[in-house]
Amino acid sequence: MEASQNGAANGTVVNAHEITKRYGEGDTAVDALRGVSLDVERGKLTAIMGPSGSGKSTLMHILAALDLPTSGHVTLAGTRLGQLSDHDVTMLRREHIGFIFQFFNLLPMLTADENIRLPLSLAGEKPERGFYDELVKRVGLADRLSHRPSELSGGQQQRVAIARALVSKPTVVFADEPTGNLDSKTGGEILQLLHESVENYGQTMVMVTHEARAAATADRILFLADGAIVKDLGGAGEDEILDTIRDVTLT
Amino acid sequence: MIRVALRGLLGRKFRAVLTAIAIVLGVAMISGTLVLTDTIDRAFDRIFVQSYAGTDAVVQAASSDISFEGESATAPPIPEAILEEVRSVPNVEAATGSVFEETAVKVLDRKGEPIVKNAPTFGFGIDPSLSRFNPLELKDGRWASGPNEVVIDSGTAKDEDYEVGDSVKVATLAPVQDFELVGIAQYPGVESLGGATFAVFDLATAQRLLNRQGKLDAISAAAKPGVSPQELVADLDRTLPATVEVRTGVEQADEDSGEVAVFVAFIRYFLLTFGAIALFVGAFVIFNTLSITVAQRTRELATLRTLGASRRQVLTSVLLEALAIGAIASVIGLFLGLALAMGLNALFKALDLELPTTGLVFSLRTVIVALLVGIVVTLLAGLAPAIRATRISPISAVREGAVMPSGRLSRFGPYIAAVLIGLSVLLLGYSLFAGDLGIAERLLSIAAGVLFLFFGVALFSPKAVPRLAILVSPVAKWVVYALSVMVYPITYGKWLVKRGLFEEALPTGRRVLSVVGGALLALVVGPGILAALIYALSLLAGSVLAVILGAVLAVYVVVMTVWIVVMLVLRALHRGSAADQPSVRPDSTTDKLSNENSRRNPGRTAATAASLMIGIALVTFVAVLAAGMRDSNRKAIEDQIAADLIITSEDGYSPFAAGAGEAARRASSAETVTDVREEVANLAGSGKDITGIDPDRITSGYNFDWTNGSSDAVLAEMGTDGAVLAETFADDKKLQVGDRFEVEAPGGKKAEFVVKGIYDPSPFYPLLGSASIPLAEYEKLFEQNQNQFTFVDVRGEPSEAKASVEEAVAAYPDARVQTRKEWIDKEDKEFQQFLSMLYVLLALSVIVSVFGIINTLVLSVFERTRELGMLRAVGMTRLQVRRMIRQESVITALIGAALGLPLGVFLAALLVRALSQFEVGFKIPTGQLILFAVVAIVVGIVAALLPARRAARLNVLRALQYE
């Protein structure tokens, strides 16, 4: 499959510079992020880990143009996010951003097939036939296309969500606790699928997770604590990740 | 996105249907009104067009087109000799004369009572040999051709079971007599004349009976072939004297139907207003429902945004839902309107207000208007929720329990409300008090003012909800408690029946006892207690309500019987199970929870309550206004009437045969008898009503409230050219005592009068005309032989003496003898009837708001699924869940009443102030207002039935896991 295009020539797809996020004012202010900077490399799976309250979800939301930072800026696919109008952001979402949610977020009244095509049909487009069939086969849903979400298992629903995220060949896919709602066996299958998308098809992915096993599939792991990056690992095994977590939380 | 919108709607079919009903009823009312009035229009068209179908020219007395307050002056009859003149004109092929009366000819029913139903009672005298001029069609028998023969209309014949050959009494200006019914006729193509009747005599007989010897009301002429109607008219014009005027048949038909068309148009707009009100309430319901569904779909809509849906696409999706609902609802409403048209006609018939009809007219205009209105209203109502949906931020897709952002303007809600209310007060003040305003402008600014007022109060209400909720909760609690105690025999009986049928564990003897005892309780004891309560209520608030409640109770008994049968069937099929035992113990936890729930989302509670508020405000408005008007009416009659007995026609406002007045003088108990006649004429250049009085005796019957130094003495000075004026007329024409003014009667006779005295008439219901002149002079100007009133003073007790006077006027069945009190009571009753009709029409809006409440409750139960699961898991019983939902509903409904009652009183006060020149009273009928509050509570209870059941039946486990 062709690799996803777009983005800076130097291989950085998303760039964050000195991102801070502050909630509230004065004495009751809470700093969710304090000056976080990072680059997301093309064709790699970047995991963001951290305990609750570390700001990992907040960071992803900001990277994914769902939220705005209090200060600092984000560049995605060569575009500065800060000054974009809602219309421009919407265009961005159609072309460059894909989402995978913890709770699947499928539309209950559409079939799996319709759910998958949704990002394209919103733009008034149709997926290329060959690509679509291959994608569906890749996620293993070829015989489930006409089913509604209520007729699918959790794992199958997440597969639909993954296909949906990939169907528009976005520059980057953001996954928010993709296995959080699945049992360990199914979760493992999903992680495998995500890993394949990155390895074999060159999809850039950013994943927020608290599971060491999920992070172990990543090419790079960023650890957040109290709103700042405290450790930046390259690819690591589960044990090393667990050790790092313990170190990070004890400090 | 279209697919998303429509598929979503299908997935929520049940809720969509509930929402759609809000619009269906409003559209049905509009469609029904248009169908009904179109049908009436066509019936009248047929009557008028056909009346002159074979006629090329019509000759009548030259009338000066005088009219006063919508009533035209009656043209006097013309001499018979003119007929010969017409026949002598060369271009005339044939001509015939006819006699025509609008109110003086009344057919009597088999009990001897005149058939009078707020409609004309026509009398015709025709020459049947010239059938081309005869618009009527014989259904049976033949035309009258002798002094004792009559033909009547088919509607009356059917209602009273008269057949050809029967003896029928008909009252005319002559004493009542028997006639042989020789034929039955009707206007072709007209199914029903509504409440109108007619009697057809031969020409000579009609002339005799209606005091038109040697005279005719109209001459119809047909032209020789090849001569156009216009040519014929020109010919006749040249030949005939100036005292008559000639028109073509078409012109005459147009003129006759013109007046009626105005009347039908009035009815059309009157009924359409109620449809508009129902739609307005429906719009509120749509707005509320869509707001809630959008809020509930926050995560779904946010997800769509993350996938790249633009704001415009989200807007379109929500609007599309609204469009789909509106379209389907409008189509259903359109056809439901047909049924409603028949229902409206039945309502009118029940209140003696029926109008002529033909087959139902279902025109293209009706289809277009109904569909357009329904769809546009739904789209407008859905606009605000759709716009709010676009503000859903994509980040809500990831947050659990995401709440929809409040509208950008919601912070300013109370301020906008204040501005709207201020604007409305300005508009209302302007419309009511500003000087030179046309009627259309006045009505428009009143409508706009009232609309703003409703919106303003509705916008403000979320602020008021928490406090109102605290206020109404105890009322809700205790009244519902009282009602459930009253209904307890029934609920307990139902439980007993179910227990007896399905509880296997009990011994057979006890089971049978349970079933029988339960059935007795549910079918006999329970309804018996309720019937007694309804009776007590009727003593407080009038019989109409008691009839309605009684009907509901009867329906209930039928339903209950069916239910028992169904239970027996279930038993035979070995299905069904026993239920929880009902209890009437007060339950403070449930009460507290429901109280809290109502205040949780004040905006939503307010919007739901607002839909009921509108209906209750309007009903209150009508009730308060009516109470004041009845008071004013009573006062007006009591102030003006001095006589012991008053003779009027059966309907109270048409004139009656003068012979009755003469006959009254022969009554043994009568001391002073004086007549009053009235007509429309030109007074000092304007169309006004003028009365003829007997100056010597009038004070025995009428109390003059003299002004400007006049007194009863001026009556003695009236002589042959004196007149007394009502102050309103004198001021209008700037006439003072001593001034002269001219009176011109229809038919051209003129006379000049001198103002002798001025009095202050009762502005609400003046019984005399703008000017009153001596009867002797009146008779010179007007050919009329009918009285408006005859005042009778008697020896002894009026109520006892009444019998002798009634006996004296027995030959004139249309003349009704009554004491002052009896007259007031009769007017009161007619008022009540009209009021009932208004209530029924407004009930439609209340029904729409009931669906609004059901909607909101169903949606909120759905929203709280997990929470309800939790409550059940920690020990809440099904009964308690039902009670909680029901309580919320009642609180919401009572808030609607708490807002609506003061609003209605305020609007009534405003209108009374505006009509102050008519001295309309202002009276608050507290009994009725309390009743409306109780109705609101019942509305709350009824609305909660379905949602409470659904909430109680949730499967606890699935509810807990609900996402």
Q: Are residues B639 and B820 in contact, defined by beta-carbon separation less than 8 angstroms?
A: no
pLDDT > 70 in chain B, percent: 96
- Using the beta-carbon criterion (under 8 Å), do B397 and A105 form an inter-chain contact? yes
DSSP state for residue B108 in the 8-state scheme: B
Please choose, from the candidates B28, B757, B615, the residue with its C-alpha nearest in 3D space to the C-alpha of residue B281. Answer: B615
Interface test with A, best of B303, B392, B398 (most A CBs within 10 A): B398
User: Taking a contact as any Cβ pair under 8 Å apart, which residues of chain B between 377 and 406 contact chain A?
Assistant: 393-395, 397-398, 400
Kindly state whether B70 is in contact with chain A, defined as any CB-CB distance less than 8 angstroms.
no
For residue A10, pLDDT over 60 is answered with no
A167: CB partners within 8 A, 6+ apart:
A116, A117, A119, A120, A127, A132, A135
**Chain A residues with CB-CB distance to B311 below 8 A:** 86-87, 90
- For chain A, the average pLDDT equals 87
For residue A163, pLDDT over 90 is answered with yes
Task: For residue A27, count CB atoms less than 10 angstroms from its CB and return exposed for 0-12, middle for 13-18, buried for 19 or more.
Answer: exposed
DSSP state for residue B765 in the 8-state scheme: S
- Using the beta-carbon criterion (under 8 Å), do A122 and B305 form an inter-chain contact? no
Q: Extract the tokens encoding B462.
A: 């979320």
Among B75-89, B511-525, B579-593, B713-727, the minimum mean pLDDT is found in B579-593
Split at pLDDT 50, 70, 90, the class of A4 is: very low
- Using the beta-carbon criterion (under 8 Å), do B7 and A91 form an inter-chain contact? no
Residue B228 φ then ψ, to 5°: -80, 155
Residues B53, B48: Cα–Cα separation, whole Å: 9
- Using the beta-carbon criterion (under 8 Å), do B305 and A90 form an inter-chain contact? yes
Nearest-CB residue to B313 (from A107, A109, A122): A122
DSSP H or E run through B388:
helix B364-390
- Using the beta-carbon criterion (under 8 Å), do A109 and B400 form an inter-chain contact? no
To the nearest whole Å, the CA of B351 is away from the closest chain A CA by 52
ipTM over 0.90: no
Over residues B510-516, mean pLDDT:
87
Kindly state whether A8 is in contact with chain B, defined as any CB-CB distance less than 8 angstroms.
no
Residues B124, B197: Cα–Cα separation, whole Å: 11
Over residues A121-147, mean pLDDT:
89
Over residues B64-81, mean pLDDT:
78
**Chain A residues with CB-CB distance to B396 below 8 A:** none
Nearest-CB residue to B300 (from A66, A107, A121): A107
pLDDT at residue A8, as a whole number: 46
Residues B925, B620: Cα–Cα separation, whole Å: 9
**Chain A residues with CB-CB distance to B308 below 8 A:** 90-91, 93-95, 119, 122-123, 168
Kindly state whether B566 is in contact with chain A, defined as any CB-CB distance less than 8 angstroms.
no
To the nearest whole Å, the CA of B27 is away from the closest chain A CA by 30
- Using the beta-carbon criterion (under 8 Å), do B299 and A105 form an inter-chain contact? yes
pLDDT at residue B817, as a whole number: 92
Kindly state whether A79 is in contact with chain B, defined as any CB-CB distance less than 8 angstroms.
no
Over residues B184-207, mean pLDDT:
86
- Using the beta-carbon criterion (under 8 Å), do B310 and A109 form an inter-chain contact? no
Residues B774, B23: Cα–Cα separation, whole Å: 60
**Chain B residues with CB-CB distance to A119 below 8 A:** 307-308
For residue B407, pLDDT over 70 is answered with no
To the nearest whole Å, the CA of B325 is away from the closest chain A CA by 18
Kindly state whether A113 is in contact with chain B, defined as any CB-CB distance less than 8 angstroms.
no
Over residues B179-184, mean pLDDT:
93
Split at pLDDT 50, 70, 90, the class of A132 is: very high
Interface test with B, best of A59, A109, A115 (most B CBs within 10 A): A109
Residue of A nearest to B309 (CA): A122
Residues A78, A62: Cα–Cα separation, whole Å: 16
Task: For residue B899, count CB atoms less than 10 angstroms from its CB and return exposed for 0-12, middle for 13-18, buried for 19 or more.
Answer: buried
- Using the beta-carbon criterion (under 8 Å), do B394 and A108 form an inter-chain contact? no
Kindly state whether B4 is in contact with chain A, defined as any CB-CB distance less than 8 angstroms.
yes
The size of the A-B interface in CB pairs under 8 A is 74
Residue of A nearest to B312 (CA): A87
Residues B278, B336: Cα–Cα separation, whole Å: 14
For residue B313, pLDDT over 80 is answered with yes
Task: For residue A183, count CB atoms less than 10 angstroms from its CB and return exposed for 0-12, middle for 13-18, buried for 19 or more.
Answer: exposed
Q: What is the CA radius of gyration of chain A?
A: 18
Kindly state whether B614 is in contact with chain A, defined as any CB-CB distance less than 8 angstroms.
no
- For chain B, the average pLDDT equals 85
pLDDT at residue B518, as a whole number: 87
Over residues B645-664, mean pLDDT:
88
pLDDT digits (tens, 9 = 90+) for B520-571: 888 888 888 888 888 887 776 666 667 777 777 888 888 888 888 888 888 8
pLDDT digits (tens, 9 = 90+) for B81-127: 999 988 888 888 889 999 988 888 899 988 888 888 878 888 999 88
DSSP state for residue B396 in the 8-state scheme: G
pLDDT at residue B528, as a whole number: 87
pLDDT at residue A3, as a whole number: 40
Over residues A3-32, mean pLDDT:
77
DSSP H or E run through B819:
strand B815-819
Kindly state whether B303 is in contact with chain A, defined as any CB-CB distance less than 8 angstroms.
yes
CA B486 remoteness from chain centre: 33
pLDDT digits (tens, 9 = 90+) for A106-120: 888 788 998 898 888
Among B188-197, B427-436, B705-714, the minimum mean pLDDT is found in B427-436
**Chain B residues with CB-CB distance to A99 below 8 A:** 306-307, 397
pLDDT at residue B6, as a whole number: 81
- Using the beta-carbon criterion (under 8 Å), do A122 and B309 form an inter-chain contact? yes
For residue B51, pLDDT over 60 is answered with yes
Kindly state whether B310 is in contact with chain A, defined as any CB-CB distance less than 8 angstroms.
yes
DSSP letters of A35-101? EEEEEEETT-EEEEE--TTSSHHHHHHHHTTSS--SEEEEEETTEESTT--HHHHHHHHHHTEEEE-
Residues recorded for chain A? 251
Only one residue has tokens 């799976």, namely A45
To the nearest whole Å, the CA of B318 is away from the closest chain A CA by 15
Q: Are residues B780 and B751 in contact, defined by beta-carbon separation less than 8 angstroms?
A: yes
Of residues A8 and A240, the one with the higher pLDDT is A240
pLDDT at residue B437, as a whole number: 64
Residue of B nearest to A88 (CA): B310
- In sequence order, which ranges of B214-354 are alpha helices (DSSP H)? 229-239, 249-296, 298-306, 311-350
pLDDT digits (tens, 9 = 90+) for B735-744: 888 899 999 8
pLDDT digits (tens, 9 = 90+) for B743-790: 988 877 889 999 999 998 888 888 898 999 999 999 888 877 789 999
Interface test with A, best of B12, B304, B306 (most A CBs within 10 A): B306
Only one residue has tokens 């609506």, namely B900
pLDDT at residue B676, as a whole number: 92
Q: Extract the tokens encoding A166.
A: 């990939």
Task: For residue B342, count CB atoms less than 10 angstroms from its CB and return exposed for 0-12, middle for 13-18, buried for 19 or more.
Answer: middle
pLDDT digits (tens, 9 = 90+) for B342-400: 888 888 888 777 777 777 888 899 999 999 999 999 999 999 899 989 988 888 887 66
Q: pTM, whole model, 2 decimals? A: 0.81
Split at pLDDT 50, 70, 90, the class of B327 is: very high
Q: Are residues B341 and B359 in contact, defined by beta-carbon separation less than 8 angstroms?
A: no
Kindly state whether A146 is in contact with chain B, defined as any CB-CB distance less than 8 angstroms.
no
Residue of A nearest to B398 (CA): A101
Kindly state whether A107 is in contact with chain B, defined as any CB-CB distance less than 8 angstroms.
yes
Split at pLDDT 50, 70, 90, the class of B24 is: very high
Percent of chain B that is helix, strand, coil (3-state, to 5): 60, 15, 25
Q: Extract the tokens encoding B241.
A: 């004297």
- Using the beta-carbon criterion (under 8 Å), do B304 and A87 form an inter-chain contact? no
Split at pLDDT 50, 70, 90, the class of B148 is: very high
pLDDT at residue A6, as a whole number: 46
Most confident of B41-55, B447-461, B492-506, B637-651: B637-651
pLDDT at residue B392, as a whole number: 87
pLDDT digits (tens, 9 = 90+) for A165-207: 999 899 999 998 998 888 989 999 999 999 999 988 889 999 9
pLDDT digits (tens, 9 = 90+) for B818-852: 998 898 888 888 888 888 888 888 888 888 888 88
Burial code of A186-218, b = ≥16 C-beta within 10 A, e = fewer?
Answer: bbbebbebbbebbeebebbbbbbbbbbebbbbb
Please choose, from the candidates B152, B185, B157, B158, the residue with its C-alpha nearest in 3D space to the C-alpha of residue B170. Answer: B152
DSSP letters of B474-529? HHHHHHHHHHHHHHHHHHHHHHHHHHHHH-TTS-HHHHHHHHHHHHHIIIIIHHHH
Residues B298, B403: Cα–Cα separation, whole Å: 7
For residue B708, pLDDT over 80 is answered with no
- Using the beta-carbon criterion (under 8 Å), do B304 and A119 form an inter-chain contact? no
